[in-house]
Structure 1
Amino acid sequence: MNLHTTVTLVIVWLGVFTLHTAEGSVASQSMRRLSCINLSAEKVDIRRIISYEKQKVPVEAVMFVTTDGIKICVHPDQKWVQTAMKRIDRRRTSKRK
């Protein structure tokens, strides 16, 4: 290879490397600061829950936040979880009016 071809290949390689690093690969994407890994089996007093967040990855879960700031992860298919989310949603819509 001559010098011109080598320099061109190095520049192209650096460009691809820089672009890939700037965008990041799927494996290097950071997860949320707090995400559910383990799910609690305990029922939480609905009156003490102030918000929730749904997640699909790494496990399907609902993260409830209590009035004390405690975050509790539970399975979203439980009846009490569905009831708690509906209650929080109603509270949110009533505050907006």
Structure 2
Amino acid sequence: MKLHAAAILVIFWLGVFTVHTVKGSIGSQPMRKFSCVSLSTQQLNIRNLVSYEKQQVPVNAIMFITRKGIKICVSPDQKWVRSAMEKIDQKRTTKGK
């Protein structure tokens, strides 16, 4: 009877350890809530953009965020995209002063 109870206890602790290990390894990886999978081809109005994020996976992209919180993904290779990023960076540095 004692051997039976010990076996159940060991199985229980192995189960707890396994769940804790799996949960920790998955939970410790940062995950984006929104990720670019396709890119817009339209040029955006720079005045409506408030920030951006660079992304390389699953596609190389710049994710612009508008005043209304809309996220739009575009190719970083376009000239207007680099210009918009510079303008947003300038706004950030003048706000910090």
Q: What range describes the TM-score normalised by the shorter chain of this pair?
A: 0.7 to 0.9
Count, aligned residues: 94
Alignment RMSD, CA only? 2.5
More off after superposition, 35-44 vs 66-75: 66-75
More off after superposition, 29-38 vs 14-23: 14-23
Partner AA of 1:95 in structure 2: K
Percent identity, aligned pairs only? Answer: 46
Shift, 1:23, TM fit? 2.8
Q: Hey, which bits of structure 1, 4+ residues long, moved more than 6 A?
A: none
Unaligned runs of 5+ in 2: none
Check if 1:56 corresponds to 2:79: no
Shift, 1:59, TM fit? 1.2
TM-score w.r.t. length of structure 2:
0.73
| Cα distance in structure 1, aligned partners of 2:61 and 2:84 | 14
TM-score w.r.t. length of structure 1:
0.73
2:24 matched residue in structure 1: 23
| 1:45-66 deviation line (CA, Å, top 9, x unaligned) | 1111111111111111111111
Shift, 1:96, TM fit? 0.6
Unaligned runs of 5+ in 1: none
2:43 matched residue in structure 1: 43
Partner AA of 1:94 in structure 2: T
Check if 1:71 corresponds to 2:35: no
